Structure 1
Amino acid sequence: MTVRRTLLKSAVFFFAFPALALAGSPEPSYPSRSVTIIVPFAPGQSGDILARVLGEWLGKLWGKPVLVENKGGVGGSIGSIAAAHAAADGYTLLMGSTGPTVISPQLLKSAHYDSRKDFTPIIAVAGVPQMMLVAAKSKYKTMQDVIDDAKKNPGKLSYGSGGNGSLAQLTMEIFKHRAGVDITHIPYKGAAPAYTDLLAGRLQVMFDTTPAAIGFVKSGQLRFLAASTSKRTPAAPDVPTVSEAGLPGFNVLGWLGILAPAGLKPELQQRLNHDFQKALDDPGVRQRLHTLGMTPIGGSANEFKKFIDDEYEKFGSAIKAANIRLE
C-alpha cells in the first residue's frame, strides 16, 4: 500500500504542477492519444481477451481509447518483434506471455530478439496454470497413478501438445524430469487434434491451460489430475497441485504481462505500472479474470523483471535437457 500511495501522490503532484515536471519526463498529458496493446496471437485467445478487458478499463481511466492489435504468427514472435521495434513512448505496449517472451527467443533462430534486453517490463498481469489432463474414462485417478504406470512401462505412455516448444510440452518435460519417468511426446499442429486423441485414448495424458480445458471437464469428457502452479487454481479449487500430489516445489506458470519497448523512461514505466495495478485491483476486473480461469498477479516492474529473468533460466534449462529443437 505504501508504494501505491507514493505512486498516486506522485501522479497527482505531476499532473497538478506540470511546469515542475522533471526535464525529459513524459508529456504531462499522457496519454494524449490512443494507446495500442499488441497481442501476438489471433483474436479470441486468453491474451487477446485479457488485453481487451484491461484496455476497456484503462480507456475509461485515461479518457483515451486503448486499441488491441492482433499480430499473430511464428509462436508469437512476429507481434513481439513489432512491439520491440516501436517507439519507446508509451503508446505501443505488448501483451507478453510465457511462449513468445521466454520460450520462442530461445528456440527460434528467426526470433531475433531477447525479451530481457529488448523490452521494458511494466507489470505481470495474470497467471494461468497448466492442468494435467486425462480422459474421464482413464484408469488414472491421481497424478501418482500416471507416475507409477510410466515407471512400469517406460516410453510406452504418450502425451500430446500443440507443437514442439509449446508451454504444454515444456511443462510435461519438466514434470518428467522431476518424476523420473519417460513419457513419449506427440506434437500436433495445435491443441485441438491433441484433445481429440486424448479423448479417444490414443494419448494417455497431457497438460494444457485451465481456460482451454475447463469446458471438456465440465462436460464430463476429461478429468483434472493436478495443477502445475504452487497454489490451487480458483477455477478448480478441489484439484491438488503437482507439488501437493507428490513433487514438492513444482511450479510452472503460464503467465501474461505488459511490456513496452526498451528505452521507456522510468517515470512512464512507473506510471503505467501504477495504472495497470489499479485496473487489476478493480473487483470487476478480478472477477472477470477468475471467470476466465486466470489469477491476477500485479506487483512492481522490478519484480516482473526478475520474474522474466528466472523464467528464461527455467525454460532454457528444460529446452536443453529435453534437446528440443525447431526446424
Structure 2
Amino acid sequence: MEAFNLTPFSPSTFILTGIPGLEAAHIWISIPLFTFYIISLLGNFTVLFVVGKEQTLHKPMFLLLCMLALTDIGMSTCIVPRALFIFWFGSKGITVGGCLTQMFFFYVFAATHSAVLVTMAFDRYVAICDPLRYATILTNARIAKLGLVGLITAVILILPEPLLLPRLPFCASHIIPETYCKPITVVKMSCGDTRVNRTYTLVISLVIIGSDLTLIGLSYGLIIRAVLRISSKKAHQKALNTCTAHICVMVMSYTPSLFSILTQRFGQGIASHIHILLANLNVLVPSMLNPIIYGIKTKELRDKVGKYTCRM
C-alpha cells in the first residue's frame, strides 16, 4: 500500500473539501458568504450602471471606479459560486482543467485589481500635484489604455502558473483542503520536484505586490510633499479628502492579501480552517465595501446613486 501511495499519477479530477474541520457548519458559513457576495454584486453593478448612464460621470476617476468594480466582481465570482456549491450540494469534484481555469482567472483579476489601484494613485497624484494639466494628462482614452496594459501584464505574468502545474506528478492524494484552487495548495500535493513552481509563485507575488506598492508609495510621497507646501489648512484638508476613499480601499485590498501570503508561508501554527476563512473574506469584504466607500466619499457618485434610488 505504501508503494502504491508513492506511485506518481495524473488525476483527472481534484476534490475541493471546503473547510476541513468545519463540515458541520458549512451551511451556516454559507449564509454570510452568500450575503456578502450578493451585496458585493449589487454595489459594484450599481457603480457600473450609474456611471454608464450618467454622461457627467464619464471622467477618468469614474472610469477607474468601473475597472475596480469589474475586477471585484470577477474575483468574487471566481470563488464564491464554487464554494457555495460545495456547502449547499456537496459538489466537491472539479476537473483539472476547471481547477487551472479558476486559478488563472482569479489571479488575473487580482493582479489587474492591483494595477487599477496603482493607476488610481497616479490619478490622485496628477489631480493634486498638477491640477491644471489633469484634463490633458489623464483622458478617458489614456485611462482605458492603462487598464488594458494592466490586464495584458496580468495575463502574461499569471499564465505560466497554470501551465507549469500539469507537468507535476501526484501521489495518491488529489484532495484539495480548500474552497477554491490555489497554486501553492496544488503544488503541495505533488511528489515531484516543485522548486520551479514554488519559486515562480513566490517571485510573481512579490513582483506584483512589491512593484505596485512601491509605485503607490511614490505617488503618495509626492502628494504629501505637495500638500505640505500648501500654506492654507483648508486647502490641506481639501487635497487630502480627495485621497481618503482610495487610501481606505488600498488598505483594505493590500493588508489582508499580505497577511494571507505571510500566514500561508510562515504561520504553521494557525489552524487550516482559519487560513481558508480568511482567504475567502479577504476577497469578499473589500469587494463588498469598495463601492460603499466610494459611494459615501465621492459626492458626484453619491448624488447620482441617490437620484436613481429615489426613482425606485
TM over 0.5: no
Higher RCO structure (Cα 8 Å, ≥6 apart): 2
**TM bracket, shorter-chain basis:** under 0.3
Q: Compute the TM-score of the two structures, normalised by the length of structure 1.
A: 0.26
Relative to its length, the structure with more strand (as a share) is 1
Relative to its length, the structure with more helix (as a share) is 2
